[in-house]
């Protein structure tokens, strides 16, 4: 038996509106093109929220199903990538919530903002430290600093108050500063 490998080709220069229209018509080729275009942009958002690879893959699978089921609901005024990212973030947060209650305020401590000597810290160390943050602080940190959401948007997406969002960001920064100080002070 001879196996023929079929490669799907698509025009990568196709605009988002045309791509979405073909996805509404359930064109598998265009769905693949949409996935290939935006997966690299949305994967990091889900991974920063969930940390765990398997949970991230679950969130992305569920999110992409929602994208294809609801593509006709995209309002063509905003960017398609932003709309997809919102679905991915919401799905990641839903998985995080189902895993356990988020300790949004428990253990909130005040850590002074003290400047330290500048020392080179690798991106790997920063990512590693961010992954160790408590869920609530990590989610707000990721959405605010990495994804560019405002505190108002975060409070709506996550279902927390504006002040809690700001407190969690402050907490995340303080915990990161403390964690990364081991690399700058050699402790």
Note the pLDDT tens digit of each residue in 100-127. Answer: 644 443 333 333 344 444 556 777 788 8
Residue 26 has a pLDDT of 93
- Model pLDDT for residues 120-155, shown as the tens digit of each residue: 677 778 888 888 999 999 999 989 988 888 999 999
- Mean pLDDT within 10-21: 82
Select from 29, 26, 25 the least CA-distant residue to 7: 29
- Model pLDDT for residues 22-79, shown as the tens digit of each residue: 999 999 999 999 999 999 999 999 998 898 899 999 999 999 999 999 999 998 888 9
How far is residue 91's CA from residue 58's CA, in Å, rounded to a whole number?
9
How far is residue 8's CA from residue 36's CA, in Å, rounded to a whole number?
12
The helix-helix angle for 80-99 and 16-24 (nearest 10°) equals 60
Q: Per-domain residue ranges for the chain?
A: 16-99, 123-185
Residue 130 has a pLDDT of 87
- Model pLDDT for residues 154-181, shown as the tens digit of each residue: 998 888 999 999 999 999 999 988 888 8
How far is residue 99's CA from residue 139's CA, in Å, rounded to a whole number?
14
CATH of domain 16-99: 1.10.1740.10
Topology at the third CATH level for domain 123-185: Arc Repressor Mutant, subunit A (1.10.10)
């Amino acid at each position: 038996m001879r196996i023929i490998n079929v490669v799907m080709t698509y025009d990568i220069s196709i605009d988002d509106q045309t791509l979405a229209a073909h996805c509404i018509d359930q064109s598998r080729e265009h769905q693949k093109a949409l996935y290939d275009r935006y997966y690299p942009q949305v994967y990091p958002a889900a991974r920063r929220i969930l940390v765990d690879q398997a949970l991230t893959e679950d969130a992305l699978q569920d999110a992409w199903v929602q994208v294809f089921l609801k593509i006709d609901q995209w309002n063509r005024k905003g960017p398609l990538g932003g709309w997809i990212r919102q679905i991915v973030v919401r799905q990641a947060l839903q998985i995080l919530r189902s895993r356990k209650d988020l300790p949004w305020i428990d253990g909130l401590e005040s850590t002074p903002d003290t400047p330290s000597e500048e020392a080179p810290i690798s991106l790997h160390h920063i990512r590693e430290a961010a992954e160790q943050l408590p869920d609530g602080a990590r989610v707000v940190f990721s959405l605010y600093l990495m994804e560019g959401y405002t505190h108002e948007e975060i409070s709506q997406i996550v279902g927390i108050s504006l002040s809690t969002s700001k407190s969690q960001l402050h907490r995340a920064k303080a915990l990161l500063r403390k964690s990364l100080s081991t690399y700058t002070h050699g402790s």
